[in-house]
């Protein structure tokens, strides 16, 4: 589970770095390589979320914590899909 969490964290940090460098640089649009990298980050995060869901579904029992993890995983998937749609609109 640690590898999944660290992979997801790397994706989020890359996306943050892309946006902060463009905002600080005063650029109103992302360049082509940043666009591709951002799309790739979102795709990687979606794949990581799906993998987390698979791992969570194999956890023993139906505890409150397992349910919370499942809910968080679903919410993360929805947020990533919204980010993907938003990127399509602005890019």
Cα 47 to Cα 21: distance, rounded to the nearest angstrom: 25
0.75 exceeded by pTM: no
Query: Reduced to 3 states, what is the DSSP secondary structure of residue 53?
Result: helix
Domain limits, the chain = 2-90
pLDDT (tens digit per residue) in 63-91:
899 999 999 999 999 999 998 888 888 77
């Amino acid at each position: 589970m640690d590898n999944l969490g660290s992979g997801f964290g790397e994706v989020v940090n890359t996306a943050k770095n892309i946006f902060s460098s463009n905002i600080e640089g005063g650029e109103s649009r992302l360049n082509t390589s940043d666009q591709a990298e951002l799309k790739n980050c979102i795709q990687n995060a979606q794949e990581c979320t799906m993998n987390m869901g698979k791992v969570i579904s194999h956890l023993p029992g139906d505890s409150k914590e397992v349910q919370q993890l499942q809910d968080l995983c679903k919410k993360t998937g929805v947020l990533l899909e919204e980010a993907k749609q938003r990127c399509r609109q602005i890019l």
